[in-house]
Amino acid sequence: MLRIEAQPWTEMVKHARATYPDECVGVMLGTSGNGTKSVVSALPMENVNPGPKRQRYQLDSKDLLAADAEARRRGLELIGIYHSHPDCDAYFSKTDLENSCPWYSFVVLSVRNGEFDHANSWLPDAEQTKAEKEDLVIV
C-alpha cells in the first residue's frame, strides 16, 4: 500500500495542473515498513524529454541523484516517481513500463482539461512486462 500525506499530495496535484498539457514528473520521498510505504515529501522535477512532453516524460539523471542524496540527508527513502497523463487515464503505458524500475512505486495522475481527475499507483515487475495496481491512500 502507498500512503501519500496531504502536503506532498497537494504539491503533486498542483504540479500536474501547472505543466498541463505537458506531462509533469517528480519523485516521492518517505518511509517504508510492514508492507506500507508512506510519502511525506514530493519533489517536483523538470521533464527534460527532448521531444514533445505531452505523452512522455524524462527525468534528468542529475536530478534523480540529487533527490537520492536529499532523501539520505533527511533519513528518508526514495519511494517512487510520479508523472501525469494529460487528457488520458491514469494507466501504466508501454513507455512507462520501458522506463520503470521494479523497486519504485509509480504514481500516475490523470489531468483532464487542466484539472486533476484521478490517480493510480503501479508496481512494475523486474522484466518490465507488466505493472500491478497498488492500493493508494491519500491521507
Is the CB of 93 or the CB of 128 nearer to Zn ion? 93
Is the CB of 77 or the CB of 96 nearer to Zn ion? 96
* Separation in Å, CA 102 to CA 24, 63, 109: 21, 20, 19
* Separation in Å, CA 39 to CA 71, 73, 86, 130: 11, 16, 23, 23
Residue 60, amino acid: D
Which residues here bind Zn ion, judged by CB under 5 A?
93, 96
Output the residue with the shortest Cβ distance to Zn ion: 96
- Provide DSSP, 16-75: HHHHTTSPPEEEEEEEEETTEEEEEEEEEE----SS-SSS-----HHHHHHHHHHHHHTT
Shortest Å, Cβ 138 to Zn ion:
20
Is the CB of 49 or the CB of 93 nearer to Zn ion? 93
Shortest Å, Cβ 55 to Zn ion:
8
Shortest Å, Cβ 95 to Zn ion:
6
Closest to 66 (Cα-Cα) out of 74, 54, 56, 58: 74
Shortest Å, Cβ 73 to Zn ion:
29
Is the CB of 72 or the CB of 133 nearer to Zn ion? 133
